[in-house]
Amino acid sequence: MNKTISLAAIAMVAVIMGLSAFAPAAMANPNNTHGPASVDLCHLDASGTGDWEVITKNEHSAAAHERHGDLVVVTAAERLACVVNNDGTIV
């Protein structure tokens, strides 16, 4: 009886340790799948310098940024063009 309980306890500890190895990966959410999606925008810096920058906002606030002239950035080339052109264009 004691041998059976001991084996069951050892097996249970092994399962718990095995599952804990996967817990950090399961908790990570790099794609933000449970909340609003992230959107990159070419945005006029509000500091008054007139510089354009790439910012990341959630999809809800991105719509407001688009209404005042910010542009959605999709590709790496568009991200680069936003900063290099420094005039609000991404082409």
pLDDT of residue 56: 94
Burial class (CB in 10 A: 0-12, 13-18, 19+), 54: middle
Q: What residue segments make up the domains of the chain, in order of their start?
A: 38-85
pTM over 0.85? The answer is no
Cα–Cα distance list, 9 to 18, 20, 73 (Å): 14, 16, 54
Write out pLDDT tens, residues 8-66.
656 554 555 544 444 444 434 455 456 789 999 999 988 878 899 999 999 889 999 99
pLDDT of residue 1: 56
